[in-house]
Amino acid sequence: MKAFFDSDIWWSFRSSPVTVISAIVAAVCVFGAMLASVIAPHNPFDLASLQLMDAFKPPSWEAEGDPVYVLGTDDQGRDMLSAIMYGARVSLMVGFCAVVFSTVVGVTVGLVAGYMGGKVDSLLMRIADIQLTFPSILVALLVDGVVRAAVPREVHDQIALFVVIFAIGVSNWPQFARTVRGSTLVERNKEYVQAARVIGLSPLRIMRSHVLPNVMSPVLVIATLNLSFAILSEATLSFLGVGVPPTQPSLGTLIRIGNDFLFSGEWWIAIFPGIALIVMVLSVNLLGDWLRDALNPKLR
C-alpha cells in the first residue's frame, strides 16, 4: 500500500483537481446506484406503493412541489430521484458487463492474432476490419434484432438484459483486439518470450503468463473509456425501445418516457435523468483520459 501512495500514478492523480473531482462524482454515482434499494427515498417499481394522484408533481422547489419528492414525479407517480438511482444501477450493470465481455473477447483475439501471425492473424484482423466499417450502435441494433427474432416473444423480457449486454459487447471487441495485437507483435520478439520458447513452454502459457501482463496497460485505458460508451449505447437502445424491458428501466428508458411529456410542461421527467446520464458518462470519460496519461510516460 505504501508503494502505491509513493508511486507516480498516485502523484498524478492527487495533483489533478479535475481527476479527483471526477473520481468523487463517479464514486457517488456508483455507490448511489448500487445502494439504491437502501438509500433511495422510495421504491419506484413497487406498484403497491405508487399513488397516481401524485403523478406529474414538479420538483420540491417549485410552487406546486412536494418536499417528499425532491425531483418531482413522473406520469405514474414514481419519485424521480429514486427512479434515477434505480435506473443508474441498470445502466452501470449493463455497461460494466458489456465492457467485460468485449474485453475478454478482444484481448483473446488480439493475443492469438499477434502471437500466431500469418493466416490466423490475417483472418482475425479482416473480421475485425469488417465489423469496424459499421457503426457500433448499428451492430448492436442488428444483433438485438436478430436475437429477438430468433427467440419466442414470451421470453423477450426475460432475456432482454442479456441480449443488450451481448449486443453492446460484441460491437466493441475489435478495438481491444487491434490494440492488443499491435502490442503483442512487439512483445513476441523480445528476449523473455524467446527464452520461454527455448525452455519448451506452450504458446498458450506464453501468451497467458508472459505476453498478457505486458499488454494490459492500454487495455485498461480502452476499457475505462468504453465503459462510458457502453452506458451511452445502452441508453440509446433503451431510448429507441429495444433495450432493457420496462420492468427494469434504465436512464435511457426514463429519458424516453420523459420525452413524451417534455413539451407539455413536465420537463423534469426527461431533464433530470438526462443530467444524471451526462454527469456519470463525463466523470468516467475524464477518469479514462487521466488513466491514459498516467500509464503513458510520454504523455506526462
Q: What is the pLDDT of residue 297?
A: 56
Q: What is the pLDDT of residue 135?
A: 79
Asked if residue 112 lies in contact with residue 207, where contact means CB atoms within 8 angstroms, the answer is: yes
Q: What is the pLDDT of residue 7?
A: 67
List the beta bridge partners of residue 79.
Answer: 73
Asked if residue 89 lies in contact with residue 81, where contact means CB atoms within 8 angstroms, the answer is: no
Q: What is the SS3 string spanning 117-150?
A: CHHHHHHHHHHHHHHHCCCHHHHHHHHHHHHHHH
Q: Calculate the average pLDDT of the chain.
A: 84
Q: What is the pLDDT of residue 42?
A: 83
Q: How far apart are CA 107 and CA 98, in angstroms?
A: 14
Three-state DSSP class for residue 79: strand
Q: ∠129-228-164 over CA atoms, to 5°?
A: 70
Distances in Å between the Cα of 239 and the Cα atoms of 6, 75, 242, 252, 266 are: 45, 17, 8, 5, 18
Q: Give me the domains of the chain, ranges plus CATH numbers.
A: 17-41+76-299 (1.10.3720.10)
Q: How far apart are CA 250 and CA 26, in angstroms?
A: 17
pLDDT bin (cut points 50, 70, 90) of residue 1 is low
Specify the higher pLDDT residue, 72 or 158. 72
Asked if residue 115 lies in contact with residue 138, where contact means CB atoms within 8 angstroms, the answer is: no
Query: Which is nearest to 169 in space by CA: 60, 248, 262, 96?
Result: 96
Question: pLDDT tens digits for 134-184?
Answer: 877 788 788 777 877 787 777 777 777 888 888 888 888 998 999 999 888
Neighbours of 52 (CB within 10 A): 10
